A and B are shown apart, each in its own frame.
Chain A
Amino acid sequence: MIRFESVYKRYPTGREALAGLSFAVERGEMAFLTGPSGAGKSSILKLIALIERPTRGQVIVAQQNTAALKARAIPQFRREVGVVFQDHKLLHDRPVADNVALPLIVAGVPERETTKRVRAALDQVGLLGREKSRPMELSTGEQQRVGIARAIVAKPPLLIADEPTGNLDPALALEIMRVFKRLNDVGVTVLIATHDLHLIEQFPARRIVLGDGRIMADTAPAALAAATSTAASLAAAAAAATPAAPASA
């Protein structure tokens, strides 16, 4: 689904974010990108979403070499990739429902179908009933979840997320991760950039550790399986620490 072949990314400022990085994520896989900030997590996601272009090397997404993609093919390409942005990127003068519906609207999905799918997506992130709210009236965590609903509403085969739980309390973060896991279970390829190691521990998924624009470690889920039991107890502890956990809502 995603293949990076000795990818270099140097920004106009001269900062080298990626230094000859290669990896692949298979269709239906779920993987975490971790590492300290500045390690290149965001750069990788931006290259996948065609927000940035590699300085050197090849980025292949869904069998398409992104370098060969014509400008007019980019919108269609982006509809196949759901992106959760770290800064949410919501339209603040539109209600939540419109924000979530945006990927469907730009794709020309009929109105009735749109309404239905928007409700389903909001339900998944626990925001059903907040359709008419403005993003400004929501907490940062809720805005984050609106962003997630928007990323999944068009049911893209590939979902990438940049720190999707960064602003959420542990219980809510866990719930959101479960949403991602559920999507993965039905075949969606999921790539999540996060430095929330505590959270990652609870999910037996592949972990790609970045450092200085290179891959420092790439751990398969099997190797993590042993750690899962401790993760489960940690999750229970987190849930207990937050009485009003929406997981039970």
Chain B
Amino acid sequence: MNRLRAYLLRHAQMLVGSLGRLARQPFASLLTAAVIGIALALPLCLELILQNAGAATSAWNDAFEISVYLDKGVSGERAQAIQKELERRDDVATVRLVTPAQALAEFRVNSGFGSALDALADNPLPTTLLVTPSLAASTTEGTTALKTAIGAIAGVATAQLDSEWVQRLDAILELLRRVVLLTAALLAIGVLLIIGNTIRLDIANRRAEIEVMKLVGATDRFARRPFLWTGFWYGLSGGLIAIGLVAVVEFAIGGPTARLAALYGSSFQLNGLAWPTVGGTVLGAAALGWIGAWLTASQHIREIHPH
């Protein structure tokens, strides 16, 4: 019990002692922490963008609407017949009929090509049916099946799934998510190497001290311990710097993002990193520091033989 207390006390002393040692060389220590911080900030910024892109597009994911364009020669009665036929289907909730005249009027208002449209001899727009699938069919598979069925109806020119581009966007986001993970993994290895190299130099500088400790009976584990705490501090401070950098990035792009969103008529606002991500980054960085130091110190301290 006494031994355990002594052991924990020594650990606590080394924890503080290693911090004090770093504080005695503030510039060099800060430089190392900053390198780690920048390396970690890169994947975090990508994560920030992805997280917000995901949030911005999630509202559109329910928009499973099928636009059905009818052949040019289809009559008004035939269009209404197709509308009735579709409304009878189980997988369809509502069908809205848009006549060429209505479509032209809408287009005139929204596009700003009013006077140019006047020059047209006849209305080029087809009759359109806007089909909203039933709730049960509002899945990728359900809407795709519905789209195929509608496409087979006589008089239908094309059926277009409006959510197709959302799905493509989702696929792109998924791809980017993988890229972020890979980048994060590579940079984590980079952080391990940075810390390993710093600790290696640290050990070389304190070689005489380690030799003396070994001469009076220190185990490799004992001699290694202060370096593990040094690595821990490097990692922790690097993680905090990374979070700080991301906060700066958030602040810098938050305004422009809101303005861009406003131009699209959206009230979308940039969200900061989720708290679990922030906590995970800081703890993960500290753990990386510890592991990096452990890998290096284990090897280099074993190789030191007093003479």
- Residue A106 lies at the interface, judged by CB distance under 8 Å to chain B: yes
- Residue A243 lies at the interface, judged by CB distance under 8 Å to chain B: no
Q: What per-residue 1/0 map shows which CB atoms of A144-165 lie under 8 Å from chain B?
A: 0000001000100000000000
CB neighbours (8 Å) of A111 from chain B are 6, 9
A41-59 contacts to B, CB under 8 A, are 49, 51-52
**Which of A72, A83, A85, A106 is the one whose CB lies under 8 Å from B218?**
A106
CA distance A72 to B9 in the complex (A): 24
- Residue B212 lies at the interface, judged by CB distance under 8 Å to chain A: yes
CB neighbours (8 Å) of B2 from chain A are 110
Expressed in whole angstroms, the minimum distance between the Cβ of A9 and any Cβ of chain B is: 13
Expressed in whole angstroms, the minimum distance between the Cβ of A96 and any Cβ of chain B is: 14
CB neighbours (8 Å) of A76 from chain B are 217
Cβ of A89 and Cβ of B215 under 8 Å apart? yes
CB neighbours (8 Å) of A110 from chain B are 2-3, 5-6
Expressed in whole angstroms, the minimum distance between the Cβ of A32 and any Cβ of chain B is: 22
Interface size on A, residues (CB 8 A): 26
- Residue B88 lies at the interface, judged by CB distance under 8 Å to chain A: no
Cβ of B216 and Cβ of A106 under 8 Å apart? yes
Cβ of A106 and Cβ of B307 under 8 Å apart? no
Give A104's nearest chain B residue, CB to CB: B216
Cβ of B214 and Cβ of A75 under 8 Å apart? yes
Expressed in whole angstroms, the minimum distance between the Cβ of A74 and any Cβ of chain B is: 8
B1-42 contacts to A, CB under 8 A, are 2-3, 5-7, 9-10
CA distance A106 to B6 in the complex (A): 11
- Residue A3 lies at the interface, judged by CB distance under 8 Å to chain B: no
A66-89 contacts to B, CB under 8 A, are 72, 75-79, 83, 85, 89
CB neighbours (8 Å) of A105 from chain B are 10
- Residue B174 lies at the interface, judged by CB distance under 8 Å to chain A: no
- Residue B222 lies at the interface, judged by CB distance under 8 Å to chain A: yes
CB neighbours (8 Å) of B213 from chain A are 102, 106
Give A78's nearest chain B residue, CB to CB: B217
CB neighbours (8 Å) of A51 from chain B are 215, 305-307
Contact flag A49-B217 (CB < 8 Å), given A105-B10, A108-B3, A110-B3: no
Expressed in whole angstroms, the minimum distance between the Cβ of A91 and any Cβ of chain B is: 5
Cβ of B212 and Cβ of A91 under 8 Å apart? yes
Give B5's nearest chain A residue, CB to CB: A110
Interchain residue pairs with CB less than 8 A apart (10): A83-B215, A89-B212, A90-B212, A102-B213, A106-B213, A106-B216, A106-B218, A106-B219, A108-B6, A111-B6
Name B's A-contacting residues (CB within 8 A). Answer: 2-3, 5-7, 9-10, 209, 211-220, 222, 305-307
